[in-house]
Amino acid sequence: MTEQDIHHLLSKLPKLKQEIQKVIVGQEEVLDEVLITLLAGGHGLLEGVPGLAKTLLVRTLSNAMELGFRRIQFTPDLMPTDILGTEVLEEDHVTGKRFFKFNEGPIFSNIVLADEINRTPPKTQAALLEAMQEYEVTYAGKTYELPKPFFLLATQNPIEQAGTYPLPEAQLDRFLLYIKIKYPTEQEELNILANTTGTRQAQVQPSISGEEILQLRQLVREVNISEELLMYVNHIVRATRPDSTIVDFVKTYCRWGAGPRAGQALILTAKARALLHGRFAVTEDDIRTMAYPVLRHRVLVNFTAEAERITPDRVVDELLQSIKLPKAVLV
C-alpha cells in the first residue's frame, strides 16, 4: 500500500467510531476496546449488568460496517448444530438421487453476537472453539471456511449466576480481550434518557468494508514495537505465574498465571491501539492500558484473594507497579 492508501484507511476509523456514537452514548473506553479487538483480528467477551447496551453496541457496530451480522441467543437447550449447522437429506429432481447437503448455521457470518454465552452448557460453548481459533468449522469430516473477516463478540451477565455455566479457562483464553462495561456517568445517562425516549432515531451509515478491515488488520501487524517493549511485555506476562514470579503479591494471591497467548494478545492489541490513535509505533502507555483487558481473564486468583475481594484487575495494578520498563527505553 502507498502512503496515500494508508492514510485513506486510517481516516475510516474515526468515521466508524462516529457512526457508532450516534447510538451509543459514552462508553468511550469500551468502544475503543471493541474496535481494538476487531483490528487485532481477535474476539471479545463483554461483561456488564443488564441494560448497559451490550447487544445494542454489537448490532450498531455491524450496521456501521458493510458486513453480515447474526445474533445467537444462548439458552440451556441450545445444541452445537444450532450454531454450526447441520446436514439435511435432499433429492435431485432431475436424477432422483438423494444426497446430504450441509446447511450453514448462524456462525457463518462476518460478525457474530453470542448473547449470554454462559447460559448454555459446556458442550455447546465448546462448539465455538474451532471457529474462534481456526476460523473454520468441521462437520461430518468436512471442513468449511468461515467468511472473512470473522469477528465474534460474546456477552455475559456478572450478577445472575443461577442456571449459568461459567466459561472454562481454556475457552476464556481464546478471547483476545475481556471487556467490562460500567455504568454511565450522570451526564451520559441523562443523554441516554433524552435520546431514547423521543421520536428521533439515529441512522447509522456503513463507513467501512470487510476488505478494508482485512487491510487494517495487516497494517496492525506492521506497527513498530521496540525490542525493549517486547521484553517489557514478556516480563509482565511471566510475572503473573506464581511459581516463577518476582512479585510477592502474585505469590500470595494467584493460583495460576497467563500463558504465551497473553503476551501475543498484549502486543497485538497495543499495536492496534497505537494505530487507532494514528501512531505507527507502540508506546508504554499502549501496553499498560491494554494489560487490564488482556490479563483479567487469564490470571486466576486463589481462595485467599476471593475472601479478601482481590480481583485480577488489582493483580494487574500490582504487576504494573512492580515491573519496570527496561532502562534502554528511558534513554
Q: Model confidence over 235-269: pLDDT tens digits?
A: 999 999 998 888 899 999 998 888 899 999 999 99
Q: What are the phi and psi torsion angles at 241 (to 5°)?
A: -95, 115
Query: In angstroms, rounded to a whole number, what is the distance separating the alpha carbons of residues 169 and 175?
Result: 10
Query: In angstroms, rounded to a whole number, what is the distance separating the alpha carbons of residues 269 and 35?
Result: 10
For residues 41 and 7, membership in a common domain is answered with: yes
For residues 85 and 175, membership in a common domain is answered with: yes
The string of pLDDT tens digits covering residues 17-39 is 888 888 887 888 888 999 999 99
Q: Where in the sequence is the domain holding 37, given as residue range(s)?
A: 3-200+207-212
Q: Residue 216: how many CB atoms within 10 A of its CB? A: 24
Domain count, the chain: 2
For residues 193 and 227, membership in a common domain is answered with: no
Q: Is residue 331 part of a domain?
A: no
Q: Is residue 281 part of a domain?
A: yes
Average pLDDT over residues 49-77: 84
- Residue 161 pLDDT > 70: no
Q: Is residue 83 part of a domain?
A: yes
Could you tell me the pTM of the whole model?
0.87
Q: Is residue 269 part of a domain?
A: yes
